[in-house]
């Protein structure tokens, strides 16, 4: 069921671009509030039967993600370098976006994350700033997200978390071997492990079944509907209202404006590559931290010569992503980590920045196993392992069942030069300019990753690992947490949207997704993206009821 069929010439109340973490929430909230909604999603609308356990298709070839052959991107470290064609970022490209195949770590940001600039002071070479919202402003919306979507966890178990008004709706997931070893080791070191909060159902909830621990979780879609993606949680509610039409396979190329500078709708390619203009009274852009600024830059006009909503010149700037370090350990007995979800235990003891460390930054650390069999054979063994022959096969047999890893999730500072712009040469399969990423790490972010890697080694040792190995933190990996690029703030000169995600320059344009982030906290952005979306939807609905949109 795709809901009603609105004519493109009919101006719907809200046109939502992108149906991922934020777009799904906006669709449900706005249609439930009585408004007519069209959702345009470039990717397909997949069903449970589509979510098979084909490792090559999903894990090796990224079958649920953006395809760099069709939508290429380019990368350079600074604007003096030529940009090379490189897959610099990954996101979920289907109805439900990245929530369909994500690892589902669902951390709330800490109280201090929203005011770190006041706490630690400005950091040279960055646009480090406080957020225009506080944890207290967001707390009710975190809670709403947890109950609406279905989150498992243990409220109060993380001693560093801010106050919460309600416990999690579902108990934590059963602990895995990696979680048991991690818990013992971190307690021995005087740290505070807690059950990982995850967007996965530990028990049946809201008509959906609980996780069956199938083991094909990160990168895969869930055929049990136990992963709390927007595809299976809120989008079906939006469609049931009878006021929301979902159009998959519709790739938006431009947001249009009138002579007054108000948006009038968006032009998209449908699945047959026909160009269609859908009218709307307001547009809600939820295409993520890369595609939202790309679309705004593509939507330039006489009135908005630098791109839509870009009078500050900051659209596309302050790109932040998922820094961290990865270390693995071999254990004496089988851990059989290939079962179930990726993560069951976490620590936040090193989360808060501490000036005594000599750099800004900190992070969370979780225990996990990120590999499937073919991926492990390609990249799971230590560097010094044989690459073929009997020795290689013996090692694969021994290591696959006895390995666990620790991943840290650390700070990514907002640097103005780290950005997405339109590549002047490379085009996608529709002839639109590719996203060009310019990104260089801040020295403090590198220092934080190295420091955390030392802590990860300590924990693996305390857990009894027989052998420990780690990739250098300099190793480039495509980023998956896309933050910044349309930052929120009170001052239109230094931000793109206000505290409710409304574009400063355009009265009826809202940009609601990971692009709004002012700082990156310690990654796992989806809980905060969705809490911000619930809050923005509530505000937007009040404005629309008062007839205040478009003025
Ligand atoms: C492998 C992987 C693991 C992850 N694990 C975690 C985790 O454990 N915890 C966590 O917090 N985060 C995780 N993430 C990140 C998480 O997926 C994102 O934070 C989240 O989905 C972002 O929500 P969003 O609404 O900003 O964008 P998205 O969810 O990316 O949604 C954007 C949607 O817009 C669509 N779109 C884009 N451009 C257009 C266009 N021009 N026209 C029409 N549609 C368009 C896209 O196809 C997509 O469906 C992970 C990501 C990946 C890839
Ligand atoms: S491990 Fe659980 S949540 Fe993950 S895909 Fe399998 S059944 Fe779904």
For residue range 174-229, what is the model confidence (pLDDT) as tens digits?
999 999 999 999 999 999 999 999 999 999 999 999 999 999 999 999 999 999 99
C-beta of 450 in contact with ligand 2 (< 6 A) = no
pLDDT category of residue 341 using cuts at 50, 70 and 90: very high
Query: What is the number of the ligand closest to the CA of 102?
Result: 1
C-beta of 29 in contact with ligand 1 (< 6 A) = no
Cα 208 to ligand 2 centroid, rounded to whole Å: 12
pLDDT at 35: 97
Query: Is residue 127 one of the residues assigned to a domain?
Result: yes
Question: What value, to the nearest 5°, has the Cα angle with vertex 61 and ends 529 and 46?
Answer: 55
CB 35 within 8 A of CB 238: no
Query: Is residue 515 one of the residues assigned to a domain?
Result: yes
φ, ψ for residue 65, nearest 5 deg? -120, 175
pLDDT at 550: 55
Tally of domains in the chain: 1
Query: Is residue 5 one of the residues assigned to a domain?
Result: no
Cα 436 to ligand 1 centroid, rounded to whole Å: 18
Percent of the chain with pLDDT over 90: 96
Query: What is the number of the ligand closest to the CA of 210?
Result: 2
β-strand pairing of 509-511 with 275-285: parallel
pTM: 0.98
Query: Is residue 87 one of the residues assigned to a domain?
Result: yes
pLDDT at 2: 60
The CATH number that applies at residue 383 is 3.50.50.60
307: left (phi over 0), alpha (psi -120 to 50) or beta: left
Cα 173 to ligand 2 centroid, rounded to whole Å: 11
Q: Has residue 434 got a pLDDT over 80?
A: yes
DSSP characters over 251-312: EEEEEEE-TTS-EEEEEEE-TT--EEEEEEEEEEE-SHHHHHHHHHHHT--SSSTT-TT-TT
Query: What is the number of the ligand closest to the CA of 145?
Result: 1
Q: Has residue 84 got a pLDDT over 70?
A: yes
CB 483 within 8 A of CB 289: yes
Give the residue among 519, 418, 427 at the shortest CA–CA distance from 122: 519
| Ligand 1 atom having least distance to the Cα of 523 | 11
C-beta of 107 in contact with ligand 1 (< 6 A) = no
Give the residue among 430, 459, 133, 447 at the shortest CA–CA distance from 298: 430
Q: Has residue 483 got a pLDDT over 80?
A: yes
359-369 mean pLDDT:
97
Cα 88 to ligand 1 centroid, rounded to whole Å: 14
474-478 mean pLDDT:
75
C-beta of 52 in contact with ligand 2 (< 6 A) = no
Q: Has residue 5 got a pLDDT over 70?
A: yes
Cα 152 to ligand 2 centroid, rounded to whole Å: 13
Cα 21 to ligand 1 centroid, rounded to whole Å: 6
The strand pairing partners of 328, in sequence order, are 405, 469
pLDDT category of residue 547 using cuts at 50, 70 and 90: confident
Query: Is residue 537 one of the residues assigned to a domain?
Result: yes
Q: Has residue 551 got a pLDDT over 60?
A: no
How does the average pLDDT of the chain come out, rounded? 96
Query: Is residue 248 one of the residues assigned to a domain?
Result: yes
For residue range 128-166, what is the model confidence (pLDDT) as tens digits?
999 999 999 999 999 999 999 999 999 999 999 999 999
CB 204 within 8 A of CB 210: yes
pLDDT at 478: 75
For residue range 372-420, what is the model confidence (pLDDT) as tens digits?
999 999 999 999 999 999 999 999 999 999 999 999 999 999 999 999 9
Give the residue among 477, 445, 476, 495 at the shortest CA–CA distance from 317: 495
pLDDT category of residue 474 using cuts at 50, 70 and 90: confident
Q: Is 85 helix (H, G, I), strand (E, B) or coil?
A: strand
Residue nearest to atom 23 of ligand 1 (CA): 21
Query: Is residue 334 one of the residues assigned to a domain?
Result: yes
State which residues form the domain around 317: 12-545
Query: Is residue 7 one of the residues assigned to a domain?
Result: no
């Amino acid at each position: 069921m795709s809901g009603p069929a609105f004519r493109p010439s009919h101006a719907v109340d809200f046109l939502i671009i992108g149906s991922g973490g934020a777009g799904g929430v906006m669709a449900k909230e706005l249609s439930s509030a009585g408004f007519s909604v069209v959702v345009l999603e470039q990717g397909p609308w997949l069903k449970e039967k589509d979510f098979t356990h084909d490792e090559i298709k999903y894990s090796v070839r990224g079958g649920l993600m953006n395809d760099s052959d069709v939508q290429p991107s380019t990368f350079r470290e600074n604007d003096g370098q030529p940009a090379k064609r490189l897959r610099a970022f990954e996101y979920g490209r289907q109805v439900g976006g990245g929530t369909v195949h994500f690892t589902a770590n669902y951390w709330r940001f800490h109280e201090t994350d929203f005011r770190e600039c006041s706490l630690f002071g400005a950091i040279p070479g960055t646009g480090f700033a406080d957020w225009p919202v506080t944890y207290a402003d967001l707390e009710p919306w975190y809670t709403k997200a947890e109950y609406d979507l279905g989150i498992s966890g243990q409220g109060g178990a993380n001693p560093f978390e801010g106050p919460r008004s309600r416990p999690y709706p579902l108990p934590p997931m059963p602990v895995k071997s990696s979680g048991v070893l991690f818990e013992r080791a971190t307690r021995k070191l005087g740290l505070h492990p807690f059950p990982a909060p995850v967007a996965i159902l530990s028990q049946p909830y809201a008509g959906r079944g609980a996780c069956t621990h199938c083991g094909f979780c990160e990168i895969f879609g869930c055929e049990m509907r136990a992963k709390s993606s927007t595809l299976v949680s809120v989008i079906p509610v939006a469609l049931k209202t009878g006021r929301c039409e979902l159009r998959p396979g519709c790739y938006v190329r431009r947001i249009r404006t009138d002579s007054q500078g108000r948006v009038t709708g968006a032009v998209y390619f449908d699945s047959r590559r026909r160009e269609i203009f859908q009218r709307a009274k307001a547009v809600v852009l939820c295409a993520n931290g890369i595609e939202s600024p790309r679309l705004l830059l593509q939507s330039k006009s006489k009135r908005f010569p630098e791109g839509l909503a870009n009078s500050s010149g900051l659209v596309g700037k302050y790109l932040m992503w998922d820094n961290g370090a990865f270390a693995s350990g071999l254990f004496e007995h089988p851990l059989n980590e290939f079962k179930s979800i990726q993560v069951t235990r976490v620590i936040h003891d090193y989360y808060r920045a501490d000036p005594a460390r000599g750099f800004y930054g900190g992070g969370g650390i979780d225990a996990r196993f990120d590999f499937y069999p073919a991926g492990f054979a390609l990249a799971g063994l230590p560097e010094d392992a044989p690459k073929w022959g009997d020795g290689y096969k013996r090692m694969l047999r021994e290591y696959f069942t006895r390995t666990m890893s620790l991943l840290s999730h650390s700070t990514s500072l907002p640097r103005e030069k780290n950005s997405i712009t339109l590549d002047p040469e490379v085009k996608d399969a529709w002839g639109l300019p590719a996203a060009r990423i310019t990104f260089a790490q801040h020295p403090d972010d590198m220092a934080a990753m190295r420091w955390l890697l030392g802590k990860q080694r300590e924990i693996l040792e305390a857990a009894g690992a027989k052998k420990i190995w780690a990739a250098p933190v300099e190793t480039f990996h495509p980023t998956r947490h896309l933050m910044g690029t349309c930052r929120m703030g009170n001052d239109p000169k230094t931000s793109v949207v206000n505290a409710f995600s409304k574009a400063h320059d355009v009265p009826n344009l809202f940009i609601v997704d990971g692009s709004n982030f002012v700082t990156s906290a310690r990654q796992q952005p989806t809980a905060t993206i969705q809490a911000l979306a619930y809050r923005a939807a509530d505000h937007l609905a009040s404005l629309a009821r008062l007839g205040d949109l478009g003025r």
